[in-house]
Amino acid sequence: MAREWVENRSNDWTAGHKALTLRTLVQDAFPSLGSRPIAEISSSELLAAVRTIEKRGALEIASRVLQRCSAVFRYAIATDRCKKNPAFKMSEALKSPVRTHYNTIEKGGFPQLLRDIDTYQGTLTTTYALQLMALTFTRTGELIEAEWKEIDLDRAEWLIPAERMKMRRPPHATY
């Protein structure tokens, strides 16, 4: 059922996300639940499987596996292969992973950011990358994977293709 759900959803995902999603299910859910008919899996069995992941200290993975299992159960309900979702509201029983937030720039702090980048003692390539990211508001991966064919110097335009963007939206232009 999980493999079918992954295949059904994969048109919306990159190949990397599809592989990661399936890998987490295979490694963390399949060992204890994978051979069972989906309609027979209970909340306590699912919780035991997720608690095994928690015991490794992998709280974020436990949360993601539970989310993916819940999606598989919703798919099974939608395709009339089971009647209930044992993952429903189960996140309340999990330990919360510690969320860390990246530093932000305070209002009016952008000029200082640019000065800090100018005085950065790292490699010139890194300095240029930081300057470009600050001026274009692109993601690190978008910059790292940039190709010259995306950049039109005459128009001072960089078109990032949708398939390289997080939300996969139409090409994003930065000027």
- What are the pLDDT digits (tens) for 123-149? 999 999 999 999 888 888 889 888 999
Q: What is the pLDDT of residues 18-60, one digit of tens each?
A: 999 999 999 999 999 988 899 999 999 999 999 999 999 999 9
For position 86, what pLDDT does the model report? 93
pLDDT at 83 over 70: yes
What pTM did the predictor assign?
0.65
CATH superfamily of 2-93: Tyrosine recombinase, N-terminal domain (1.10.150.130)
Q: Give one DSSP letter per residue of 101-160, joined into a string.
A: ----PPTT-HHHHHHHHHT--S-HHHHHHHHHHHHH---HHHHHT--GGGEETTTTEEEE
Closest CA to 87 of 31, 44, 55, 23: 44
**Beta carbons within 10 angstroms of residue 47's beta carbon:** 17
For position 172, what pLDDT does the model report? 57
Q: At what angle do helices 59-78 and 15-28 cross, to 10 degrees?
A: 100
Any residues with CB less than 8 A from the CB of 22 and at least 6 apart, and which? Answer: 2, 3, 6
Q: Which percentage of the chain shows pLDDT scores above 70?
A: 94
Q: Per-domain residue ranges for the chain? A: 2-93, 110-174
